């Protein structure tokens, strides 16, 4: 079986390990639920148990602060499950887009081997042992660096204690298990995005069967321009992570979120820029296709137009109204409408509506923080005003 028949992102290495440990089942729904429960069980539950024990039996008031830590809930009970579910939402759609290049005839028969090689290369990058090992090294390098360099004052109360690195038991678990879990999921998605970009880059260098007059104004590649909205769950998860950190400052430091509007705006800008960039790799391909179409369809339109004028206008002062029913008129109109598609081609695979949908997905998690900043009395007054 060729690699083109296989998926680019069939199964990550850590998922294979969990499957062999019988911690996930083959069925996707059961598998996703099992993976989420496993992640919560190692990421959030131990922190909750440790802090609860210290609070109840050691009378540690600082440990009770864990249960009002907005960021912890956001990371481990919202972002982590969403990042795991994204495997079953995003990846199958990316596979469908990849295979559509072949099924739609965009890939020429002479380039089929190059396409298969691109699929195989993407599979090696996404499913290989070395990428997984490399990400693990990067994650633990980051968390260890943070643990060594972070100021004790920057730690939350439930993470802080007297001892090595000024960390409590829960703080150590957060440093060595919980934080690497979140960072690993984020990094794995960034890696997949990089693999996807490289795959599209390889396709953009092929001689694809593009049609300059295609009604989608993108030579038949509009489906690629729409692909960033597939990543909406990832954008939402990143928004949850950032909103959770901001929520902590609003709840515990009583900051006004409206004074920190740059945080969600900057987050949305970065996420949108990151997710809409893969389709932009076809900019050169579109430019060359449009140039070819302008010459070819322009010459055809000029030739047909010249013949039309020679037949109906050359030396004639009047034209009988019955001539309007002649096929020449409708044929010329049809040709010119097709040629107009060439001149209306997009310079890049960018859709503002797609960018807006990604931005909205990123900003939605900030909505509860903004609503919480509005005094209840003011909010009720406005709601009553809408109803009356």
Supply the DSSP string of 251-283, one letter for each residue.
HHS---GGGGTHHHHHHHHHHHHHHHTGGGGGH
Residue 50 has pLDDT above 90, yes or no: yes
Q: Determine the pLDDT at residue 26.
A: 47
Q: Determine the pLDDT at residue 311.
A: 77
Q: What share of the chain has pLDDT > 90, as a percent?
A: 61
Among candidate residues 258, 279, 257, 223, the one with its CA nearest the CA of residue 104: 223
Q: Determine the pLDDT at residue 20.
A: 56
Residue 24 banded pLDDT, cuts 50, 70, 90 = very low
Higher pLDDT, 373 or 35: 35
- For residue 377, the Cα-to-chain-centroid distance in whole angstroms is 38
25: its two tokens: 């089942």
d(Cα 119, Cα 42) in Å, to the nearest integer? 34
Over the chain, what is the mean pLDDT? Answer: 87
Per-domain residue ranges of the chain = 1-209, 212-388
Residue 246 has pLDDT above 90, yes or no: yes
Taking a C-beta distance cutoff of 8 angstroms, is the pair 48, 73 a contact? no
Lowest mean pLDDT among 93-102, 240-249, 284-293, 302-311: 302-311
Residue 376 has pLDDT above 90, yes or no: no
Q: What share of the chain has pLDDT > 70, as a percent?
A: 88
Residue 203 has pLDDT above 70, yes or no: yes
Q: Determine the pLDDT at residue 226.
A: 96
Taking a C-beta distance cutoff of 8 angstroms, is the pair 360, 271 a contact? no
Residue 276 banded pLDDT, cuts 50, 70, 90 = very high
Q: What is the pLDDT averaged over residues 88-98?
A: 91
Tell me the whole-structure pTM to 2 decimals: 0.86
Among candidate residues 370, 178, 344, the one with its CA nearest the CA of residue 264: 370
Burial (CB count <10 Å: 0-12, 13-18, 19+), residue 258: exposed
Residue 175 has pLDDT above 60, yes or no: yes
Residue 2 has pLDDT above 60, yes or no: no
Q: Determine the pLDDT at residue 31.
A: 78
Higher pLDDT, 214 or 370: 214
75: its two tokens: 């990371």
Q: Residue 268: how many CB atoms within 10 A of its CB?
A: 22
Kindly report the CA angle at 202 between 201 and 203, in degrees rounded to 5?
90
Higher pLDDT, 372 or 64: 64
pLDDT digits (tens, 9 = 90+) for 97-133: 999 999 999 999 999 999 999 999 998 888 778 888 9
Q: Determine the pLDDT at residue 233.
A: 94
Q: Determine the pLDDT at residue 23.
A: 43
Among candidate residues 297, 275, 62, the one with its CA nearest the CA of residue 189: 275
d(Cα 236, Cα 113) in Å, to the nearest integer? 37
3-state secondary structure of 295: helix
Q: What is the pLDDT averaged over residues 196-220?
A: 95
Q: Determine the pLDDT at residue 1.
A: 44
- Which range is most confident: 4-13, 281-290, 330-339? 281-290
Could you give phi then psi for residue 160, rounded to 5 degrees? Answer: -100, 140
d(Cα 209, Cα 103) in Å, to the nearest integer? 12
Lowest mean pLDDT among 6-10, 121-125, 328-332: 6-10
Give the end-to-end CA distance of the chain in Å, rounded to a whole number: 66
Q: Determine the pLDDT at residue 326.
A: 64
Q: What is the pLDDT averaged over residues 366-376?
A: 82
Residue 72 has pLDDT above 70, yes or no: yes
Residue 15 has pLDDT above 60, yes or no: no
Residue 171 has pLDDT above 60, yes or no: yes
d(Cα 347, Cα 280) in Å, to the nearest integer? 9
d(Cα 141, Cα 143) in Å, to the nearest integer? 6
Taking a C-beta distance cutoff of 8 angstroms, is the pair 232, 83 a contact? no
Could you say which DSSP state residue 108 is in? Answer: -
Q: What is the pLDDT averaged over residues 290-316?
A: 85
Cite the DSSP H helix spans in the chain.
Answer: 13-20, 28-43, 45-57, 70-73, 80-103, 112-127, 129-149, 169-173, 179-204, 222-225, 232-252, 262-276, 283-312, 327-343, 352-363, 367-373, 376-387
Q: Is the dihedral of CA 245, 251, 255, 260 positive or negative?
A: positive
Name the one residue in this structure whose structure tokens are 């150590």: 172
Q: Determine the pLDDT at residue 6.
A: 59
């Amino acid at each position: 079986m060729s690699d083109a028949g296989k998926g680019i992102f069939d199964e990550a290495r850590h998922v294979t390990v969990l499957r062999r440990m019988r911690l996930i089942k083959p069925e996707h729904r059961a598998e996703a639920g099992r993976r989420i429960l496993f992640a919560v069980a190692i990421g959030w539950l131990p922190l909750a148990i440790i802090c609860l024990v210290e609070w109840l039996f050691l009378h540690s008031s600082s440990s009770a602060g864990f249960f009002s830590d907005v960021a912890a809930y956001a990371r481990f009970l919202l972002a982590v499950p969403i990042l795991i579910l994204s495997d079953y939402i995003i990846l199958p759609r990316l596979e469908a887009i990849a295979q559509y290049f072949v099924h739609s005839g965009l890939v020429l028969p002479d380039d089929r081997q190059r396409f298969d090689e691109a699929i195989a290369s993407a599979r090696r990058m996404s499913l290989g042992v070395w990428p997984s090992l490399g990400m693990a090294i990067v994650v633990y390098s980051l968390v260890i660096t943070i643990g060594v360099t972070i100021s004790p004052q920057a730690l939350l109360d439930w993470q802080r204690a007297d001892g090595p690195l000024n960390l409590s038991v829960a703080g150590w678990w957060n440093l060595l298990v919980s934080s690497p879990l979140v960072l690993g999921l984020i990094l794995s998605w960034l890696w997949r995005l990089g693999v996807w970009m490289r795959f599209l880059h390889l396709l953009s260098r092929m001689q694809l069967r593009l049609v300059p007059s295609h009604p989608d104004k993108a030579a038949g590649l509009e489906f690629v321009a729409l692909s960033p909205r597939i990543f909406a769950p990832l954008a939402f998860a990143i928004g949850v992570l950032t909103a959770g950190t901001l929520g902590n400052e609003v709840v515990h430091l009583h900051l006004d979120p409206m004074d920190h509007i740059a945080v969600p705006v900057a987050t949305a800008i970065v996420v949108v820029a990151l997710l809409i960039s893969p389709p932009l790799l076809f900019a050169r391909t579109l430019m060359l296709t449009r140039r070819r179409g302008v010459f070819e369809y322009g010459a055809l339109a000029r030739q047909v137009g010249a013949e039309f004028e020679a037949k109906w206008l050359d030396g004639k002062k009047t034209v009988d109204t019955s001539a309007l029913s002649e096929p020449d008129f409708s044929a010329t109109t049809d040709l010119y409408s097709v040629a107009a598609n060439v001149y209306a081609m997009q310079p890049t695979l960018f859709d503002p509506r797609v960018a807006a949908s990604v931005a909205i997905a990123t900003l939605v998690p900030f909505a509860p923080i903004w609503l919480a900043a509005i005094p209840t009395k003011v909010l009720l007054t406005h709601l009553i005003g809408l109803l009356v």
